[in-house]
Structure formats: structure tokens, C-alpha cells
Amino acid sequence: MASSAGWLKGKVKAVTSGDTLVIMALNPHKTGIPPEKTITLSSLMAPRLARRGGVDEPFAWYSREFLRHLCLGEEVVFKVDYVIKSIGRDFGSVFLAKSNDNVAKLVVSQGWAKVREPQQSQPTGPRQGQQKQIVEVSPYLGELLSLEKKAKTEGLGCWTQVPGAAEESIRCLPPDNNFDAMSLLAENKGQPMEAIVEQVRDGSTVGVYLLPEFQFVHVFVAGTRAPSMKRSHGTKETVAVAEAFALESKFFTEARVLNRDVHLVLQGVDKFRNLIGSVYYPDGESEKDLGLELVENGYAKYVEWSANLMEEDAKKQLKAAELEAKTSKLRMWTNYVPPATGSKPIHDKNFTGKVVEVVSGDCIIVADDSLPSGSPLAERRVNLSSIWCPKMHNPRRDEKPAPYAREAKELLRTRLIGSQVSVQLEYSRKVGQGDAMDFGSVFVKAVEKDASGQVGGNVAELMVARGLGTVVKHRDFEERSHYYDALLAAESRAIAGKKGRHSSKEAPVMHTRDLTTEPAKKASEFLPFLQRNRKIPAIVEYVLSGHRFKLFLPKETCSIAFSFSGVRCPRREEPFSDEAIAVMRRRIMQREVEIEVESVDKTGTFLGTLWESGTNMSIALVGAGLANYTPFGNSDRILDAHLLEQAQKSAKQQKLKIWEKYDQGQEVSKKQKKVLNVVVTEILDSGKFYVQTTEDQNTASIQQQLASLNLQESDPVMDTDFKPKKGDIVLAQFSADNSWNRAMIVNAPRAAVESSQDDYEVFYIDYGNQELVPFSQLRPLDSSLATAPGLAQLCSLAYVKVPSYFGEEAAEYLSEQTLSSSKKFRALIEGRDLSKGKVVEGQGTGPALMVTLEAGDDEMSINAAMLQEGLASLDKEKKVWKSSETLREFQEEARTYRRGMWEDGDIDAHVDRARPITKTAGKR
């Protein structure tokens, strides 16, 4: 090389003909698209290539191929020798960097280009008569002429003397309008085809010559779409307007495949006869997938419709590559923000337990082995990850089950009920305005092998393989099952086998009758049919209480309400009620049982005996101390009555559960008063107050869970979808000590919350307090805590009545005796008051216990003390209560000494001023 001045380094990006190269700059330390220059070799003239549908000059293709194989992708050193502005072309000298060979000399020496001899230009204008000027030529012209002469002599390249060689070298390119894309696809689908990339329209669209016919086609890279080079039409000319990263994507593809030999695998054709396929280009000794490279590097996005034409493994690989590029925010994903998924953190992700209920084909309830069976938190609802099954809907709303919903639920019931399973919770998601739902994979020792050949089966995979469930198509960044690929494979097998929902047959229909929704008279009419047979097969649909159930009779195809005859469990609000329900759910829920019906009550509930695996469940319940056997009427009609009596006698002797305070040797009278050890938590007027039972099994569990919550450092809730409404159970911060407690929304703003200081009126269900709190002091509450009953029980002093005008004094005295005292209290339940409703809607509402409140070893009850101080009077409406007679002496003492309300004398005539006193004729 004569001098370093003016010489540049670069890399050959493309070879457009036998004498023209496209050279791009080397930018090892710079980002962006490197500049490039098109160089025609000085003083050379190669045969011209034809356009599509045209004819080459002789040896034009061989000339281009020689230069392409010689230089494409190689580093070179070049210099512009001269420029002809009239045609806008740069002519120069190019040397291979590795061997320092002159490219023009190599081309001429092989006979693939002619040397353009120097020509003289004719002088014009005032300079006529002067010497003619010489047009610029290659500085290596002499050597080139010598090499050309030698090539001619040897008959090399286009100088060959072989007869017919020139005609044979001419390509006749087929026209585009005669191209049949569908026929080509049918003949070559899935088979690798040889091709040369001649054009790159954008990063994911290339124009190729199919060899050996040289048919030119456009190919869309399957499963991808790169930013396009859009064209906007102006008034005079068309201007290219590129999308973001379109130029970078186009250069990425050009640098790898332009003018290169590739393998093309066709997979489809669009409506414009454009082929869709995968492009593989050489990379050393292996090949790379252009589409995968584009997506991995953030130069193209995944396109579902064309990816569906690909093989499943390639499709998954492409989808995973896009997800990784989005996570890393590469190129076109720089400003990508993942969509909100509504996911919530999960505690205790992995656990084992027994399935106690199948809600639907994709939802079960599992009793956690690590929690006591009587705890309300023991049963955990698990939704199967990444699948959807048809739902049963609600028969009370006349909603019919969706097709295959019954089959899906029944398959899970027969496989899972009572079985030990292993649960792997994978994500939790809030759906709509409801509570967060936990999703996971459930594994059980199945009798069938799964796709991997293992005996331990994935329940979700079983449902999908049977065609009773479909795989959910997740959005990007949505959590999914860890076994998502196995689910997709199972769904493919189900579709191919036309199983379940994928079958062309109509879903089977079962017509059933639900007697629980019909009048009680219908149940009475149905009784004779049930009494014909001794034992009737049944399936327990639901456990309503410890002794009452909803059963489905398969032979009769109807549902009935059923209760144990002569056996009663504690009510919902009473101790051991939850434990009795939990025991029965674990023992018989959705199990196959046998029943014998004796009679039907006035509510339409059938009474009788129930067996599960030969065990009389009423005897088991009574023997465990969770139910009381009290026969009504003729006990001879009750099966195994003597065994029930023996079981109850044994439970009493062992002081099990409801008999833990049973005094052996004495029968418990029906009229015996129940005693609770309580702590007074809130005082109202009119002698009412709230208590917590110190022996409540749920108190410690709920308080421990609330204490473990770290809410002081949690983010404000203004920007979330937390919109509490009246009746919702939430967490609220109590103003007196800043503690977080469970609370019911009593009153909420009518309009949407605009400020964190908007007030909500809340009732603390565990203590009985009620106050206004700002929105900033509210937090959503987990459903497991929200559904647990409140610990605060509304009570009123039995037999006494506090006048409204003495309410404040009475409340102050009651507060001094209870809240300000360190004494322990006992509450003797005298009765129940439902005058304030059966449902708690706020402070002072709902069922109330009428109690006699005693403090420690004090001989006088709080009821008596209130009467003695003149702060209350005997309630005349409760004359039927004999216990009120023992309190009369305390009221007489207050009346005698003019205490409290008796200060102005006898007030019998105006104790209740709001209601006039009426008298009946003939009586005082």
C-alpha cells in the first residue's frame, strides 16, 4: 500500500455485483448503526445482474458469487480513488485485511471483470484547442491490464473459450406474478430449503432467492415482528419514517444474513402470498435462528398468530426469549412496564393435608396438617394453577351447571376426597373486588401415570388430560404453574384425542331435583319413597352444622336436607361448634354414605341415621363429646339408641368437649345455667356491655395473627383498589393506643374517596368499641381472618332495667366496677335477647346474652349492686324469671335509703316515661 493517508478500515456488509461492495465502519467501542459506504472497484466493469423477471449478462452471477465468497463478512482496508458525481458513485481500491491482497487484482486475475481502459474527455467552451483531459483511473491500472491479458490468454472466467459456457451462465429470473406460494408451501413445509438473502425490508422481513430456480420471495420470520420502516406519502415525494428501533433492527438482520446463504424452513403463507418461515444463518460450524436472535436481543416482539405455525418447543423458546428481553428492558422494551397482575404474597407455600371438599373442577379445600382440626384457619382453599374448569353455578338462582362441570367436579371428588395431598402454592391473585385467591399445584398418589411416567400425579394435569379443563393463556409477567409446559402438552393430547370438552359430542345432561329449595310439604310427600328401603346410598354435598347436612341421592337424583335423629351439636356461636363441623367435614364431606330415614320435621328436614364405611356417625359424634343425645318422643324409633346412650355416658365420664365441666353423678338439667369466664371490654348505656370469653379457642389464634402483621411500615392504600364498603371486615387503627384490630365498616362515604382523611365509622368486632377513623388508618384484611367470628359478645344485665335518664350514671358505675377493676368475672347466661336483630351491624346491635355478672369471690353480683345503688330497677316484663325475686331486696334497700333514681321518692309511675302504663280490668 503506497501511503496510509486516506485509507480506511471496514467490514464488507454486502456484495451487490461482481465489482461493487458495501463496506461498513468498524465500531468496536461505539453503539448505534455504523456508517457505511458503497465502493465500486476502480477501473473495473463486471457483467450486469438482471432485475427480477429479467435476464443476466453472461457470467454476471458467477462474477458476483466470486466476489461474495471472497469478501462478504471480511475486514478490509479501502480508499476512494475518485468520484463520478453524475452517477453518484465512489470508485476505490480495496485490500483484504488478513492477506493484504488487492481485491480488484484477484477479480481480474480470475477473469470475472473487465478492465475499463482510460478515456480522454473532449474539451469544450473557451478551452477548445487545448490538450484533452484524462479521466481518473485506478492507481493499479497497469497491473490490472497485465492480469486481464493473462486471464484472456488462459481463458479464465468470462474469457472462457468453452462452447456454450456463456449461454449457460445466463440466468433467466422468473417473474413474481407467476409464483404459487401455496404449492411451494405444500411441497416444502417443514423441510430446509437453500436460499440467498437479497433484500432486508425490516428486521423480520427478508427477500430471498430460492435456489436453484432463483424464485424471488418475501419471507416473514415466523413468530416475530420487528419495528417497521413505515412510509408516509407527502405532496411531492415519499419519505421513510421508521418506528423506534426499526433502523437498529434492520441493521441487525442485514449484518447477519444479507447476501448470505441461509436455510429457510417454511411454515405458512399469509393472504398476500408472503411466506412465513424460520431463517437459519451460518455461525461458525453451527446455525442460528434469526427470529430467536431478534427476540432475545430486543429487536423484535413475539407474535402469537404466526408463532402458532411453529413447533411447540420453538414457540415456547421464542416466548421465553421475549419475556427475558422484557425483564432486562432491552432495546424496544426500554420503557416497558409490566402490567399489574393483582398478585399477593403467599405465606406457607408448601404444606400437606387432607382434601375435605371439592368446590369445582379447579378448586378444592384442604385441611392443613400443621393446624388443629377445630381451628377456622385449618381449611385452606386452593385453586389449581393455570387451568380453568366449567363451574356448577348456584341452583337457588336457577343457574344450571355449565357443560362438563358436573363431570369435572365428580372426577375430583372420587379421586381426592379424604386423600392425603401435597400442595405447592405458586401465586395469589385478587380477582375483581373479592379477596385474594391462592393458586397452586396439588399432587396425590394417583393410580394413573402422568406425562412424565411418574405415579405421583399432578391433579391439574389429570383434569386437562381428561378434557375437563383448559389451560389458561397467561399474559406476560403473569405468574403461572411451575408445570405449565406439562399442562400444555396434556391439553394437546386431549384435543388430539377429542376428549371431554374437545369432543364433538354434546355434553351429558343430568336432571336433578333439590328438595331443600322447595316447600316443606314436598319433603313430606317424598317421605314414603325413602322409607321403602332400609338403607339408601347418598353423597354428602355439604355440612350445614355438626348434625345437619345436605345429601344427594344418586338413585333418586335429588338433594335433601338430613339431620341426625335425637342428636344435637352446639350452635354456631357456642363452644365446640366449629370443632364439630370440622370433624364432620373431615369424616363425611362429599363422601359416599348410607342413610335410613325415620321421619321428616316441619322444616322439611329428614331425620334418621347415617353410616360412613359402616360407622354410625351420630354415635361417633356423641362419643367424641361433640354432640348431646336427647331423644324426643318415642326413642324406640331411633336406631342404636342404647349405643347412643352408652356413648354419651362414656363422654360424660371422661369429660370430653361439651362435658368438660360435667359434674359426675349429677344429670345436667335442661334449665341449668351456662357459665362463661369473661373480660369486660366496652361499656354502653342502659346496662349493656361487651365481653370477651377468656376460654374461647379462637382468641389466642386471632390475636397472635394480628400481632404478627407488620402494618406500620406498609405502604398507604390510597393508590390501590382497596375500596371498603358498609359491612366489610377490615383492619383499623384504634385511636386510643394505635393498635390494629379487626373492624366492621358501619358507615362509609357515599362518594368515592378523595382524601386519606375521609372518615369511616367502624365497629371493632373483637372489643365492641365504635369510632370514626380516617381512610389512611384502614387496611385490607386477609379472608381467613375476616371470616372468623368476632370475639366481642354483646351482653345486658339480666332482670334489671336502666332508665334512659340515668344511663350515663349507670354506665360510669358499671365502668368503675369492671373496666377499672382487676377482678375476674363470670357471666351466668339467663337468656337471649334478639330485640336488636340477629345480625351484628354495629355497636349495640345483634343477639345479646342476658347475664348475671359476678366478680371473683364477691357474694353480690353486679346486677344486685346496680339495684342497691339505685342505678337500675327490676324489669317488670321479666316476672317469669324466678331469679328476679332474689334481687328485690336490693331494690327495696335503694328505695328505702333514697339512693340514685329513688332520691325523689317512689318512681314506679314514671320509670319508663316513654310508654304509658295500662291496666287490665279486674287486676291491679
What pTM was estimated for this model as a whole? 0.51
User: Could you tell me the pLDDT band of residue 914, with boundaries at 50, 70 and 90?
Assistant: very low
Q: Which residues lie below 8 Å from residue 3, measured CB to CB, with a gap of 6+?
A: none
Q: Is residue 836 exposed (0-12), middle (13-18) or buried (19+ Cβ within 10 Å)?
A: middle
How would you classify the pairing of strands 567-568 and 558-564?
unpaired
Which residue, 419, 450, 437, is CA-closest to 362? 437
pLDDT of residue 452 exceeding 50: no
Measured distance CA(111)–CA(323) in Å, rounded = 52
What gap in Å lies between CA 460 and CA 383, rounded to an integer?
Answer: 10
Q: Residue 193 pLDDT more than 90?
A: yes
Pick the most confident of 316-320, 627-631, 903-907.
316-320
Which residue is listed with cell 364405611?
613
Extract the C-alpha cell encoding 924. 291491679
What's the alpha-carbon Rg for the chain, to the nearest Å? Answer: 45
Task: Specify the higher pLDDT residue, 313 or 915.
Answer: 313
pLDDT attached to residue 520: 83
* Contact partners, residue 462, CB within 8 Å, separation at least 6: 411, 415, 446, 448, 450
Lowest mean pLDDT among 31-35, 580-584, 820-824: 820-824
Is pLDDT above 90 for 897?
A: no
CB distance 20 to 5 below 8 Å: no
Would you say residue 142 has pLDDT above 50? yes
The whole-angstrom distance between residue 700's C-alpha and the CA centroid of its chain comes to: 32
Q: What is the pLDDT of residue 52?
A: 77
Separation CA 580–CA 547 (nearest Å) = 8
Give residue 919's pLDDT.
33
**Residue 481, C-alpha cell as written in the block:** 404453574
CA distance 849 to 688: 10
Q: Buried b vs exposed e over 330-362: b needs ≥16 C-beta within 10 Å?
A: bbbbeebeeeeeeeeeeeeeebebbbbbbebbb
Percent above pLDDT 90 for the chain: 40
Q: In the chain, count of helices (H) and strands (E)?
A: 21, 49
Q: Could you read off the pLDDT of 694-707 as tens digits, one per residue?
A: 877 777 788 888 87
Cα distance between residue 591 and residue 600, in whole Å: 23
CB 95 within 8 A of CB 79: no
Quote the CA–CA distance of 247 and 745 in Å, as a whole number. 58
- How many residues are there in the chain? 924
- pLDDT of 348 > 80? The answer is no
pLDDT band at 393, cuts 50/70/90?
A: confident
- Supply the pLDDT for residue 202: 93
Instruction: Name the nearest CA neighbour of 658 among 706, 622, 608.
Output: 622
Q: Across residues 530-558, what is the average pLDDT?
A: 90
CA–CA distances in Å: residue 885 to residues 828, 875, 897, 906: 16, 11, 20, 19
Per-residue confidence (pLDDT) for residue 578, from 0 to 100: 86
Mean pLDDT, rounded, of the chain: 84
Average of pLDDT values for 430-445?
Answer: 80
Give the contacts of 428 (CB within 8 A, at least 6 positions apart): 343, 344, 345, 346, 436, 437, 438, 439
CA distances 521 to 483, 515, 524, 557, Å, are 52, 10, 5, 19
Which of the four pLDDT bands, split at 50, 70 and 90, describes residue 637?
low
Range of lowest pLDDT (79-93, 281-295, 420-434):
420-434
Residue with cell 369473661: 678
* Whole-Å CA distances, 548 to 34, 565, 620: 80, 10, 15
Query: Mean pLDDT over residues 325-337, rounded?
Result: 88
Would you list the DSSP string of 238-276? EEEEEPTTHHHHHHHHHHHHTT-EEEEEEEEE-TTS-EE
Please write the tens of the pLDDT for every residue from 548-560: 999 999 998 999 9
End-to-end CA, the chain:
138
Q: What is the pLDDT of residue 133?
A: 47
pLDDT of residue 75: 94
Give CA–CA dist 64/270, Å, rounded: 32
Rounded Cα distance, 264 and 257, in Å: 12
Of 460, 463, 436, 444, the residue nearest 380 (C-alpha): 436
The reported pLDDT for the residue numbered 344 is 59
Yes or no: say if 40 and 106 are a contact pair by the CB < 8 Å rule: no
User: Is residue 456 within 8 Å of 442, Cβ to Cβ?
Assistant: no
Amino acid identity, position 212: P
pLDDT at 454 over 50: no
Determine the average pLDDT of the residues in 469-488: 85
- Average of pLDDT values for 83-98? 92
User: Rounded CA gap, 566 and 714, in Å?
Assistant: 53
For residue 510, CA distances in Å to 357, 436, 537 come to 21, 33, 18
Could you tell me if 796 and 833 are in contact, meaning their C-beta atoms sit under 8 angstroms apart? yes
* Cβ atoms of residues 267 and 259 within 8 Å: no
Lowest mean pLDDT: which of 330-334, 714-718, 757-761? 714-718
In the structure grid, which three cell numbers stand for residue 348, read together? 406457607
Mean pLDDT throughout 869-881? 72
Please state which of the ranges 43-52, 470-479, 763-772 shows the lowest mean pLDDT: 470-479
Is pLDDT above 50 for 453? no
Q: What is the DSSP letter of 55?
A: B
5 or 449, higher pLDDT: 5
Of the two residues 768 and 31, the one the predictor is more confident about is 768
pLDDT at 913: 40
Mean pLDDT of the region 512-534: 86
Q: Average pLDDT, stretch 736-758?
A: 85
What would the pLDDT profile of 104-139 be if each residue is shown by its tens digit?
999 999 999 999 887 654 454 444 444 444 468 889
Mean pLDDT of 745-772: 88
Collapsed DSSP state (helix, strand, coil) of residue 330: coil
pLDDT for 834 = 84
Nearest-angstrom CA–CA distance, 342 and 240 = 42
